[in-house]
Amino acid sequence: MDHLQGKVTLITGAAGGIGRATARLFAGRGARVVLTARDPARLEAVDLGPGDAGALRLRLDVAVPSAWDEVVGQVVRECGRLDVLVNNAGVVQPALADALSLAELERHVAVNLLGTIHGCRAALRAMRAQGSGCIVNVASLGGIMPLPGEAAYCATKYGVRGYTFALHAELRGTGIGACVVSPDSTDTAQLAHELVHDEARMSFVNAPLRPEAVARAIAAAVRTRRPEILVPGAMGLLARIAMAFPGLVSLVLPLLLRSGARRMARERRARGL
């Protein structure tokens, strides 16, 4: 039997690229999927195929702790349990550190970092009661490598990784897992938004991943419960090794930024921007 069969799985940001791909994958492998987003109308457009019959679609603003309590409570009442939480919702607004508005700075922290933490806390109350479960938090290789022009986003993803590692250690022996999936840039609406901002050059150094590749990594995290899965693995490992020498990384950053700028220019031309 597939390890996802029958698992009640709550996915945030389920109307977007990675969230939608994850919901489809999990539903196709027999999980009972709970899709959440701030805009319920967008959730209705997500087609899960044959696994759609048992799916729930719920409004959730991840930045509001009480909203988390309500949604998790509803899931437990209607489904009997919560086996997997995928904290995927996130935002990004490229800008130089001193040019990003205070409102955007606070939105990064509220959604990317605190939204993840609120979700973990709400899910843990349900999972501790049943003695099992798995939390997968989606971070980024930008939580390992510095992203000039996206410092706020970078900081929140560093925070998600740190929080998850601590949670992973804290939950040893409880039957509950905590894992972080850190992907490279992925072909989503978020990346399309970054494309029109010159500050986001580091997000275009490599060809973007398909959302389905990240979804498969999330499924693998539920199965293996490894502390972190990097996507792609080789690039992630290289980033980890490089950041053991931050001074050397700063020397190669200009080359990476030029490479990213060239890829951005090609993609803009291809899209007629």
**Low-confidence residues in the chain, pLDDT < 50:** none
Angle value at C-alpha 158, between 200 and 265, nearest 5 degrees: 15
Q: Which two tokens stand for residue 47?
A: 């087609």
All structural domains of the chain: 8-270 (3.40.50.720)
Q: Residue 148 and residue 151: Cα distance in Å, rounded? A: 6
Closest CA to 144 of 216, 51, 236, 71: 236
Contact 94/190 with Cβ under 8 angstroms? no
Reported for 102-109, long-range contacts at CB under 8 A and 24+ positions apart, including other chains, are: 104/152, 105/152, 108/152, 108/153, 108/155, 108/156, 109/152, 109/156
Contact 138/231 with Cβ under 8 angstroms? no
Angle value at C-alpha 125, between 118 and 58, nearest 5 degrees: 60
Alpha helices, H only, the chain: 17-28, 40-44, 65-79, 102-108, 115-130, 151-170, 189-195, 211-224, 233-242, 246-270
Q: Residue 32 and residue 52: Cα distance in Å, rounded? A: 9
Contact 19/60 with Cβ under 8 angstroms? no
Which is the catalytic residue, given 153, 171, 186, 228? 153
Q: For 37-60, write each residue's pLDDT tens digit.
A: 999 899 999 999 887 888 999 999
Residue 1 pLDDT: 54
Contact 156/112 with Cβ under 8 angstroms? yes
Contact 34/75 with Cβ under 8 angstroms? yes
Average pLDDT taken over every residue of the chain: 96
CB neighbour class for 59 (10 Å; exposed up to 12, middle 13-18, buried from 19): middle
Residue 51 pLDDT: 74
Contact 211/188 with Cβ under 8 angstroms? yes
Active site residue 153: yes
What is the pTM assigned to this prediction? 0.96
Q: Which two tokens stand for residue 165?
A: 């590692």
SS3 call for 128: helix
Q: For 89-105, write each residue's pLDDT tens digit.
A: 999 999 999 999 999 99
Residue 158 pLDDT: 98
